[in-house]
Amino acid sequence: MRIKSSEVGGLLGRADLYMLRSVYLKTLRDTRVPTLAWGIGLGALVALALYAGWLQSTSTEAKAALLALAPAFAWWADPVAITTPGGYVTWRIGPFMALLPALWALLAGSQTIRGEEQQGTLEMLMAAPISRSHLFFEKAIGLGTALVVIGGLISLGIIVGGLVIQDPFPLANACLQGLDIAAHAAVFGALALFLSQLTLERGTAAGLAGLLLGISFLLDSVGRTVPELASLRYASTIYYFGLNKPLLPGYDTDLGALLVLAGLLAVFIIGAGWLFVRRDVGAPGWVAQARTVSELVKPAAYPRTLPRLWPYRSFWRSSPYTRSLQQTWRPTFWWGLAIGALAATLSGSAGAGHVSLVLSMLPILFAIFAVTQVSRWAYSEPEGRLELLLTAPVERSAALTSAFGALTIALLLLGIFTLAGLGIAAQLAGLGLPWDNLAAAAFGLVPATLLVGSIGFLLTAWLRPGTAIGILIVLLGASLTLGYVGPALDWPEFVAKLSPVAQYGQPLLNGFDLTAMARLVVLAGIALALASFRFSRKDIL
């Protein structure tokens, strides 16, 4: 008798039986922990920020101070009605609400198909009687559902925060804010999913999508603060995200902005799905499309690699360290080029007054880069690369420190690109900024970012990749937020100093703060030593 599958040997609980019924439900099951963690974390953050905003609004002096501070932070977000709790939240943590869920979404989007392909788990799934398009859309909708849940929990945080400060927000407005956040994050999740159909590695797609997220933020920020460059904002997704301000009284819903986000989402999803159903498993999608055009002429072939820029291939394989460098140099080059070019363009065109604006954004960009590199290391275990490395006569600590060493070199290179961009722009624009201060501005971020990286390595030595990266992003978001919300809550100064932004200080004015840098390097060293200690004792599964 053929009966419907229910369980195997009476071992499964009711939830498992339900959540393993389809690819969609399985995707939800796989993302349930990060979804709830992110949703609850961000919801709590919004509630906290509402409370901070309410505290500010109760004091005339605090309101005046806030209004005096607003112009200096115009690059960060629109300073509209900032003396109201809703306006304060929109201004202070609005960009975080755009950036952090989008960062998680792009990591999840790149993992969804290409990550599983790299791990080898997709092949068995594709042997099941599910069409490729069905499989793709079930997974995509699963991710979309996770983002809607995150948005819903943020809405819940808004409602709770409103009740706490006895100034409740209408349910529709709270929901619209959550929807806006989910829609923006979904665009980057879909973008990573699309890019991952064109790349052979999940990490490459995540890195590119992260870079575009950073550029999107920069374009919006510069367009807002530099009137001559205002049109740049139209190319930024964060601009469309920010057009809706449901927590501000009197702001109508901007359906057009939501439609732009929905349109981008649809384009990326349809493009990714179109590529996925046509390509070979294990190959980038552009090969399949190139073949479609060329196969009438001759049987096509996979191009083995892009033209080699570095002819000494054996160099890369001479040690775990050089191998790590090889894996890092390509994203480092593109990130560095983009950061340097943006720094040059914006500083040169905007003048000396706005160089500090560019510098204020660098901690975020450097930190996102560090997260993508930690993610690459973390997923080397489930993807089997780590096991292979450790079968060679390589100390575990050497494997870990090699990866960290490559990150250090990569950050120094980013510093060089940044310095080149700033320096060239300053010279061309005749800004007269001293080179040593520019160097301090460009390289001052390296220690703080190394600390972010070492904490990431420490987390991956204990936790599964998804959990570790999720916690790292939350920690990063929280520490960045501290720099802005912390002072309003009258927290001690040392708490605010936990933020990389605060640690970065004002290098353009003050030059190198060697004490602060040494402190960060020591902390990073301690975290790395702990990571190495733990990693040496970890089971490689």
Partner 1 sequence: MPGMIEVEGLTKSYGEHRGVTDLTFKVEPGEVFGFLGPNGAGKTTAIRLLMGLLRPNAGHARIGSLDCWRDSFPIKRLIGYLPGELELDPNLTGGQILTYFANLRGGVDQTFLRRLIEQLELDPSRKFREYSHGNKRKVGLIQAFMHRPPLLVLDEPTQGLDPLNQAEFDHLVEEVRADGRTVFLSSHILNEVERLCSRVAFIRESQLTRIESVHALMAFRRREMEIVFADPVGVEEFGALPGVEAVRRLGVGRLRLVVQGDVDAVVKRAAQHRVLSLAFKEPNLEAVFLSYYADKTTAAVPEIQGEPLEAFTLQPAKPPGSHSEADY
Please report, as ranges, the residues that interact with partner 1 according to CB under 8 A. 1-9, 11-12, 16-17, 20-23, 26, 30, 119-121, 123-132, 134, 278-282, 288, 291, 295, 299-304, 382, 464, 541
The CA dihedral of 78, 79, 83, 89, to the nearest 10 degrees, is: 40
> Structure tokens of 24?
């969609």
Q: In degrees, to the nearest 5, what angle opens at C-alpha 95 toward C-alphas 379 and 423?
A: 80
Distance CA 370, CA 335 (A): 11
For every residue of 480-540, DSSP letters joined together read: HHHHHHGGGGT--HHHHTTSHHHHH--HHHH---HHHHHHHHHHHHHHHHHHHHHHHT---
Alpha helices in 231-379 (DSSP H): 237-243, 255-278, 285-294, 313-316, 320-350, 355-378
Least distance to partner 1 from the beta carbon of 132, Å? 8
> Structure tokens of 413?
């290179």
Least distance to partner 1 from the beta carbon of 116, Å? 9
Distance CA 248, CA 157 (A): 16
Least distance to partner 1 from the beta carbon of 537, Å? 17
Least distance to partner 1 from the beta carbon of 31, Å? 12
In Å, how far from its chain's centre is CA 422? 24
Q: Locate tokens 């570790």: which residue?
A: 468
Residues 6 or more apart whose CB falls under 8 angstroms from that of 67 comprise 82, 83
Pick 107 or 265: Cβ nearer partner 1: 107
Least distance to partner 1 from the beta carbon of 291, Å? 7
Pick 125 or 341: Cβ nearer partner 1: 125
Least distance to partner 1 from the beta carbon of 107, Å? 17
Residues 6 or more apart whose CB falls under 8 angstroms from that of 402 comprise 319, 320, 321, 323, 324
Least distance to partner 1 from the beta carbon of 120, Å? 3
Least distance to partner 1 from the beta carbon of 382, Å? 6
Pick 68 or 128: Cβ nearer partner 1: 128
